[in-house]
Amino acid sequence: MIKIGKSRHSLAGKLILSVSAVMTFGSLIFGLLFIHFEQRVLLKAGVHSAEVVRIVHSDMVSIILACVLFVLGISAFLCVILYRLVSKPVAQLESGMMRIAKGDLDEPININTRDEMGLLANIFNSMAKDMKRYRQDMENWTHTLEDEVKKKAQEIIKTQDELINTEKLASLGRMAAGIAHELNSPLTGVVTFAHLLKDRTPQADAQGHEDLQVIIEQAERCSKIIKGLLGFSRRTGFEMAEINLNALLEATVAMIRHQARFYNINFSLDFAPGLHSVLADPNQIQQVFLNMLLNASDAMNEKGAINIATRALNVDGKDIIETEFSDTGPGIPEANVGKIFEPFFTTKPVGKGTGLGLSVSYGIIKKHGGDILVKSGPGKGASFFIRLPVQRKGEWRNAQSGESQNPGN
């Protein structure tokens, strides 16, 4: 490493001393030659020797005084010139290099001449600018690298959480499949004996027939749910059919509105007439509708109003059917809006929810090629918008085959 410091001897001083010494010796030699020449001239002219010595001595003193004055004048003139042309620019260069060595790259070296000193100052200023730009680039790169490291660390933590949740879902699926197998046999018995009791009930007992029919229908519905659960655990395909969402919503509301938890909830239905049918699995879509209604009931503490509306839309040139579920609850905090569809995320007390309802609903709608949107604000309730495309069977099969061929899309 080159150390920059004050030089012991000034370059200008060395030059002045050298020039002064040369001029002094030159002047003395010139004086001695002049005296010798004068002495010879006087002797040839017949001047007495004593007079020659006196004249030569007098001229020698004058010559020495003239040489001294000449040397002093030239030295002073050289000092001024060398200070302006050499000493001052060199001192500025030295000061600038010391600042650069200490890391100060903001103050340039101000030498505005067209000689070598000015060229050297311009080179140093250009070098300082390049070093400053390089240092700034390094600082920016360091900050960018730190941000990327933090981002990757957060992604790793999130991935670990998702892996844990995936394992939970897998364990839950295996457990649910086992429970479904265990429940299937007793439900078959319930349906069989309900049919036998219905056959044995007198035709006059209309209420008995109606109650037994309700038992049969609900038991068969449970069987369908279990079948869907088993199919889900085995990753089987959906049982797709063209369904009328208005009719499915009416059936879903009729099924739950007389339950105790919905006694103090008013239902408002605003169905658009003449909607196109959608291609979907009715059991899966009904499960989504039930999750929407159950979540709304929990959010309102089983008191309030739920509005259900359907409408036909055209989004980006595609025909869709939108179903809106709105409640009068406290709304969803802004910080939680982006998390509500994550598995096991819930704001309910322990034992009141698993955090899977919205996650499962989101997966079902996405599998149908649709989307779920949410709009909410503190104290303004929450609205969920379920959008399903208007498709025919052939279109859905083509879309599914396209997904299987392009799994990354």
Q: pLDDT tens digit string along 91-141? A: 777 777 777 777 777 777 777 777 677 777 788 778 878 887 888 888 888
DSSP summary character for residue 274: T
Question: What DSSP element (H or E) covers 320?
Answer: strand 318-327
**What pLDDT was estimated at residue 371?**
92
Task: State the amino acid at position 330 in one-letter form.
Answer: P
Between 301 and 106, residue with greater pLDDT: 301
Q: What is the pLDDT of residue 388?
A: 93
pLDDT digits (tens, 9 = 90+) for 246-268: 999 998 888 787 777 888 999 99
Q: What is the pLDDT of residue 91?
A: 75
Q: Mean per-residue pLDDT for 355-378? A: 83
Q: Are 355 and 345 in contact (CB under 8 A)?
A: yes
Angle at alpha carbon of residue 307, lines to 301 and 311, rounded to 5°: 150
pTM: 0.45
Given this model, what pLDDT does residue 268 score?
A: 92
Q: What are the pLDDT digits (tens) for 269-296?
A: 999 998 888 999 888 898 899 888 988 8
State both tokens at 394.
Answer: 């052939």
Are 344 and 280 contacting, i.e. CB atoms less than 8 angstroms apart?
no
Residue pLDDT, tens place only, 57-78:
666 677 777 777 777 777 777 7
Cα–Cα distance measured from residue 42 to residue 14, given in angstroms and rounded to the nearest whole number: 42
Among 167-171, 211-215, 339-343, the minimum mean pLDDT is found in: 167-171
Judged by DSSP in three states, 139 sits in helix
Our CA dihedral for 154, 155, 160, 165, rounded to 10 degrees, sits at 110
- CA-angle at 72, arms to 71 and 78, nearest 5°: 85
What band does 348 get if pLDDT is binned at 50, 70 and 90?
A: low
Contact 7, 93 (CB under 8 A): no
pLDDT value, residue 249: 92
Which of 302, 211, 299, 289 shows the shortest CA–CA distance to 250? Answer: 289
Please tell me the distance from the alpha carbon of residue 285 to that of residue 364, in angstroms, as a whole number.
8
pLDDT of residue 159: 74
Question: Does residue 4 surpass a pLDDT of 80?
Answer: no
The helix-helix angle for 116-200 and 206-233 (nearest 10°) equals: 140
Q: Evaluate if residue 156 carries a pLDDT over 60.
A: yes
Query: Quick check: 331 and 202 in contact, CB under 8 A?
Result: no
Q: How many whole angstroms separate alpha carbon 185 and alpha carbon 290? A: 25
Q: What's the rounded Cα separation, in Å, for the pair 59 and 183? A: 141
Q: Is a pLDDT exceeding 90 seen at residue 308?
A: yes
Confidence of residue 171 (pLDDT cuts 50, 70, 90): low
Distance CA 70, CA 341 (A): 99
Place of tokens 């909607």: 275
Tokens of 51: 């007079």
Max mean pLDDT range (35-39, 66-70, 99-103, 204-208):
204-208
One DSSP character per residue, 27-73 reads: HHHHHHHHHHHHHHHHHHTT--HHHHHHHHHHHHHHHHHHHHHHHHH
What pLDDT does residue 350 have? 47
pLDDT at residue 406 above 50? no
Question: Taking 50 as the threshold, does the pLDDT of residue 24 lie above it?
Answer: yes
CA distance 113 to 110: 9
